[in-house]
Amino acid sequence: MKTQNTTAMMVIVGGRVLFQYGDVKRVSVLASARKSVLGMLYGKYVIDRTIDLHKTVKEIGLDDVQPFLPIEERATLEHLLMARSGIYHPDDSGGSGVDNPESVCPARGSQYPGAFFCYYNWDFDAAGTAFEKLTGKTIYDALESDLARPIGMQDFDRGLQKKDSALPHSKHPLYHMYLSTRDMARLGLLMLRRGNWNGKEVIDERWVDYLTTLVTPVNELFPQAFRNDAERNEWHFGFGVMWWVWDAPRLPRGMSSGDLYGAYTAEGLGGQYITVIPVHDMVVVHKVDIRNTPAQKYVTNQEFHTILNMLFASKCGERCP
């Protein structure tokens, strides 16, 4: 771990802390892992029908600085959560945003909603706006009431949560989240337990299954860099709904296809991971404080995958005394 610029890491097995490293209390930004947490928040309101995933972006009122094309108006909220809207508006001019979407996505109007995956911030930021419009709650109030309190987050501070404007490019702000490593581990354990926390349902198990079912396999990922990364680093995560999902064939019960079979992960720029590994009843959380770490020293998918492989190799199995 000392060879990386890891801020903190935790490994949970069987609901107990197996390993921890660094300052697990330190609160910092999740980067794109925020999207997976928003996906968790959606569940309650979809199940009780407050949110209808089949409503279109036009019906919800997600019109942006640039008007929707007629084909884009047909995109649904579900398409946004799957990164399959076919809407390629500019989102912002800094950070992880792109003010020229055609540099990473197809031309506007060229893809029918639902037909093509492009991982791009506009879908997810618009999904944040949709959540607040349809529930009447801010994302951060819901994060506190629906997740932080029920699972006993230790370091959650509502006052630290803040959005960044995407104007003049988009009306939909980036809903940054600031959490500690040990609170991220609680989120991962909640997912591993399919929404159950100490015998109480926090998220409907059907929603957890929905989020973590593969929708877009690796060979359909776009931009191309995602496929290149998978081939180069054996990082075979496709995309489900707001969560990255291990892309491997589903084998009959009792047959194994490796340590990451059935795994899924939240992932953020520079080394933010909440990785759930059901085969080992395990959650691995890794954090880099990217606001205080130079970009050239971020932890990559390849480096994190190496850490996971070392972790799996340490399991004694039949060699246990």
185, pLDDT greater than 80: yes
- Chain-centroid distance, C-alpha 80: 13
Average pLDDT over residues 261-285: 96
The answer as to whether 23 is a domain residue is: yes
Average pLDDT over residues 23-51: 97
Residue 237, beta-bridge partner list: 246
Mean pLDDT of all residues belonging to the chain: 91
Q: What is the pLDDT of residue 318?
A: 63
Q: What is the DSSP letter of 216?
A: B
C-alpha to C-alpha distance for 86 and 311, rounded to whole angstroms: 39
Q: What is the pLDDT of residue 234?
A: 78
In degrees and rounded to multiples of 5, residue 8 shows phi and psi of -165, 155
The answer as to whether 64 is a domain residue is: yes
284, pLDDT greater than 80: yes
Q: What is the pLDDT of residue 249?
A: 56
The closest of 74, 71, 76, 126 to 97, measured between CA atoms, is 126
pLDDT band at 252 (very low <50, low <70, confident <90, very high): very low
Average pLDDT over residues 57-82: 97
Q: What is the pLDDT of residue 109?
A: 95
The answer as to whether 236 is a domain residue is: yes
Give the pTM.
Answer: 0.93
Residue 196, beta-bridge partner list: 201
In degrees and rounded to multiples of 5, residue 186 shows phi and psi of -65, -40
Which domain does 39 fall in, by range? 8-314
pLDDT band at 97 (very low <50, low <70, confident <90, very high): very low
Residue 211: give its domain's CATH number.
3.40.710.10
What secondary structure, in 3-state letters, does 55-120 show? Answer: CEHHHHCCCCCCCCCCCHHHCEHHHHHCCCCCCCCCCCCCCCCCCCHHHCCCCCCCCCCCCCCCCC
Sheet strands (E) in the chain: 8-13, 16-22, 27-29, 178-180, 196-197, 200-201, 237-239, 244-246, 264-268, 272-277, 282-287
The domain total for the chain is: 1
Q: What is the pLDDT of residue 314?
A: 87
The answer as to whether 287 is a domain residue is: yes
198, pLDDT greater than 90: yes
Q: What is the pLDDT of residue 320?
A: 64
- Chain-centroid distance, C-alpha 13: 21
The answer as to whether 136 is a domain residue is: yes
